Amino acid sequence: MLSQGKKPSETTVVVGMSGGVDSSVAALLLKEQGYRVIGVFMKNWDEKDESGACTAAKDYEDVARVCDRLGVPHYSVEFVKEYWDHVFTSFLEEYKAGFTPNPDILCNREIKFKLFLKKALELDADFLATGHYCRTNPERELLKGVDPGKDQSYFVYTLTRETLGKVLFPIGHLLKSDLRELARKAGLSTSEKKDSTGICFIGERDFKKFLGQYVAAQPGKFRTLDGKVVGEHTGAAYYTLGQRRGLGLGGEGARWFVVAKDIERNTVFVERGETHPALFADYLTATEPSWVAGAPPAAEFRARAKIRYRQADQDCRVGVGPDGRLRVDFDQPQRAITPRQSVVFYDGERCLGGAMIERGGPTYYEQKRELPTGGDR
């Protein structure tokens, strides 16, 4: 994809470089294709790790090494305040309200493909490129990455065709194993660097300890759906639907899972068994839709959908209300539909867009019983 008929040698591409192998290879491929490449590192979080070292500084050193190896200029830009104001504050408010937000999606929408894209264009770049595992086509549609285990279209479903016309995804056609081999052959210092996980730009850490710095939580009770107290939790905000690990509940029988939360009463409801009916729902409602084409395919349409990253696509029917609110009916009941996560829609390899999950239903306890009203405060 070239800008206004320009040759690659006449086209400037700013590559958003994180210090990881994916963005390193994105820069490598564009350089090999003849583009004028500029590596730019975004500093969005300002905090030291447990050893007292600034993790952003470490990552920028990796960016500098890769860019020096490729013979391309490199710079750093800072969006620490913008990340706090537009992403992290919202992330905290969602947790305080009892939801489980996905900050990566908000960061892509508000920081990477808005503020950072604007900065790239201010540098007279023709395109912004990133190391996301997804693709575009000449019609400026968003496509899945070729590697099914790494496809990241789920995280960038908020991009429109207008934005996609200014963005390149150089590694979307690669398998991760092939990408690492390219990095090794090119002698890139990031070729064996571990993939980053955890919160967008904040990284891996003890999540409950980290969240506790910002969200005041009070201990409360774990209850079954019939009201029986089976243990104590450290704060309802710390738990998410379907969670198994970290509950601290034992005893004979199947493992415990979180099936519901009542933030007002600081109660976390649990039941035994990975397939307990309380974990499943037939449909969901969703708000804040975002469509790559600018509008949904129709007022009602068939699609495949994901309600979480790396989930297998699920067959569904989507209905769009006059206010844009969605109802998504699944062919098969879905497990742990989580409010304020995203549902993302596909037609084959094309990502159509997505929305924020409002709620799943009818849930088991909505059909069979009301949640116990006994408070724990």
Residues 6+ positions from 34 with CB-CB distance below 8 Å: 7, 8, 9
Residue 200 is predicted with a pLDDT of: 57
Choose the catalytic residue: 107, 134, 316, 351: 107
Residues 6+ positions from 181 with CB-CB distance below 8 Å: none
Average pLDDT over residues 131-152: 96
* Span 266-325, pLDDT tens digits: 999 999 999 999 999 999 999 999 999 999 999 999 999 999 999 999 999 999 999 999
Residue 19 is predicted with a pLDDT of: 92
175 versus 198: the higher-pLDDT residue is 175
Active site residue 67: no
Average pLDDT over residues 133-138: 96
Distance CA(19)–CA(182), nearest Å, equals 16
Active site residue 134: no
Q: Which band of pLDDT confidence, cut at 50, 70 and 90, is reported for residue 363? A: low
* Span 176-213, pLDDT tens digits: 999 999 999 999 999 999 887 555 555 555 677 778 88
Percent of the chain surpassing pLDDT 90: 75
Q: Report how far apart, in Å, the C-alpha atoms of 358 and of each of 31, 106, 276, 325 are.
A: 44, 16, 22, 10
4 versus 238: the higher-pLDDT residue is 238
- Bridge partner residues of 233 (DSSP): 220
Residue 377 is predicted with a pLDDT of: 46
Check if CATH label 3.40.50.620 holds for domain 8-185.
yes
Choose the catalytic residue: 67, 134, 200, 351: 200
Residue 46 pLDDT more than 80? Answer: no
Residue range(s) occupied by CATH 2.40.30.10 in the chain:
278-368
Average pLDDT over residues 35-50: 82
Q: Rounded to 5 degrees, what are φ and ψ at 279?
A: -85, -10
Residue 209 is predicted with a pLDDT of: 78
217-272, CATH topology level: SH3 type barrels. (2.30.30)
* Span 80-133, pLDDT tens digits: 999 999 999 999 999 888 888 888 999 999 999 999 999 999 989 999 999 999
Average pLDDT over residues 42-62: 73
State the average pLDDT for the chain: 90
| Number of separate helices (H) and strands (E) present in the chain | 10, 17
Distance CA(287)–CA(207), nearest Å, equals 27
Average pLDDT over residues 234-262: 92
Residues 6+ positions from 57 with CB-CB distance below 8 Å: none
Q: Pseudo-torsion of CA 321, 347, 104, 239, nearest 10°?
A: 70
CATH class of 278-368: mainly beta
* Span 320-357, pLDDT tens digits: 999 999 999 999 999 999 999 999 999 999 999 999 99
Residue range(s) occupied by CATH 3.40.50.620 in the chain:
8-185
Average pLDDT over residues 237-248: 92
Largest CA distance in the chain: 69
Residue range(s) occupied by CATH 2.30.30.280 in the chain:
217-272
Average pLDDT over residues 43-64: 74
In the numeric block, which tokens belong to residue 260?
């519901």
Residue 128 is predicted with a pLDDT of: 98
Residue 54 pLDDT more than 70? Answer: no
Q: What is the pTM of this model?
A: 0.90
